[in-house]
A and B are shown apart, each in its own frame.
Chain A
């Protein structure tokens, strides 16, 4: 293989040049496909970071079912703090809660007239480490005898999550479809270059070339298509996303878009590698099918 590497490269380039137009069409298709793939990745990452930032502002409220003493409350607070994922617990006594409530709404309602007793329970405000464990922590907290009810703004988080899941699933199917279409384009491009060289291939085999020897130049050609398509889509996406980041940061500064260079590099790298893989696989499938159809 390695003593022939230079030969294979030269062969691949020759073949690439010979079918320049077709090659550029293929590279263009790969570029578009990978661009869509990259956009999808960025979308998922950004929605994830938006959901994260919104739901990280959310707490659990756990209501105590009895009028327990402050000592009991303190003990319960310590136990609750041991639940995994709990970051911070604040105790709000029912008196305190009633005062807060009256401060907020007292001016509109004549509360003292309608209610003689404080109807509010003691409350724990619980902050959790990450939003996705909210439901789990809520369940554990509600298992305590003294806890009557647990509330959190779960609905919004859940909705955002299911939206994100839908985008993930829809996007993943889209990406698979696009990958298949790209594969098909590569298979066809390479097929034409293989067919153009059928006589050469048969002569090579007659003088003792193995199948893999015959295949290498075409596989390299496929890799070349994939790498070029990958690089082109990387450049275009990098350019467009930088522009979006710039626009959003000035127009909608509260939107927490992802700008982490390491994660971005990872996404771009994934695109180029995917392109390379598709190019290689497409070429391999193509040349293998033609070689196998001959005796």
Chain B
């Protein structure tokens, strides 16, 4: 499903953020990406949905090297990858419903379909009651859920969650992680970047550890530390 082959990335300042990364993630896997701040977790995810292009190497998503994808094709790639952004990226002047609906609207889906699917997604993340709220009326956890709803409303085969528990209390964090696990069980490949040691240790899933742009550990049934 996802394969990084000899991927390196440096931004314009020339410092290598990712260095010779090789990673394979199969269909419907559930993977934690851990590592200290600045290790390159967000950058790695950005390569997958082509917000960034690698300096060298191949980034294969669903058999296509997205590093060389024609920019006209990028929107279609992104419709197949749900992203829960570290900073939510909700449209501030739109309600939760409209924000979630947006991911469907861009596909040209008919209005009735949009309505039905948005309601389903909001129900799944437990946000039906806040459908008409605006982002600045929501708590961090609620924003996170709205963002998850938008990421999955299209039923994408891949879901990337960048620190989805970043600012949340332990209980809410657990709710979110369980939600992501539920989504994973609906045949979705899920990648989660996190600093949350407790959750990673308790979940006992595959862990990929990044440090200064290199993969220093890739462990099935892993924990936060070795």
Query: Which residues of chain A are near B108, meaning CB under 8 Å?
Result: 1, 3-4
In the complex, are the beta carbons of A208 and B91 less than 8 A apart?
no
What band does the interface of chain B fall in when counting residues whose beta carbon is under 8 Å from A?
20 to 34
In the complex, are the beta carbons of A4 and B51 less than 8 A apart?
no
In the complex, are the beta carbons of B111 and A3 less than 8 A apart?
yes
Contact of A205 with B75 at beta-carbon distance under 8 Å, contacts A3-B110, A3-B111, A200-B91 already known: yes
In the complex, are the beta carbons of B110 and A206 less than 8 A apart?
no
Contact of A7 with B89 at beta-carbon distance under 8 Å, contacts A206-B49, A208-B75, A209-B75 already known: no
Query: Which residues of chain A are near B90, meaning CB under 8 Å?
Result: 203
What band does the interface of chain A fall in when counting residues whose beta carbon is under 8 Å from B?
10 to 19
Q: Who on chain B is nearest to A200 by CB?
A: B91
Q: Which 5 A-B pairs have the closest CB atoms?
A: A208-B79, A208-B78, A209-B106, A210-B75, A207-B103
Query: Which residues of chain B are near A213, meaning CB under 8 Å?
Result: 75, 106
A213–B90 alpha-carbon span in the complex (Å): 18
A4, A205, A206, A211, most chain B CB atoms within 10 A: A206
Contact with B along A205-239 (1 / 0, CB 8 A): 11111110100000000000000000000000000
Contact with B along A104-117 (1 / 0, CB 8 A): 00000000000000
Write the nearest CB–CB distance from A198 to chain B, whole angstroms: 12
Contact of A204 with B102 at beta-carbon distance under 8 Å, contacts A1-B108, A3-B111 already known: yes
Give residues 45-73 of B contacting A (CB, 8 Å): 49, 51, 72
Neighbour of A210 across the interface among B85, B89, B103, B106, CB < 8 A: B106
Contact of A203 with B89 at beta-carbon distance under 8 Å, contacts A3-B108, A208-B107 already known: yes
In the complex, are the beta carbons of A3 and B78 less than 8 A apart?
no
Query: Which residues of chain A are near B102, meaning CB under 8 Å?
Result: 204, 207, 209
A7, A203, A213, most chain B CB atoms within 10 A: A203
Query: Which residues of chain A are near B110, meaning CB under 8 Å?
Result: 3
A93–B31 alpha-carbon span in the complex (Å): 112
A194–B184 alpha-carbon span in the complex (Å): 38
Give residues 98-123 of B contacting A (CB, 8 Å): 102-103, 105-111
Q: Who on chain B is nearest to A205 by CB?
A: B75
Q: Who on chain A is nearest to B101 by CB?
A: A7
In the complex, are the beta carbons of A206 and B83 less than 8 A apart?
yes
Write the nearest CB–CB distance from B148 to chain A, whole angstroms: 13
A207–B98 alpha-carbon span in the complex (Å): 13
Query: Which residues of chain A are near B49, meaning CB under 8 Å?
Result: 206
A204–B105 alpha-carbon span in the complex (Å): 10
Query: Which residues of chain A are near B76, meaning CB under 8 Å?
Result: 208
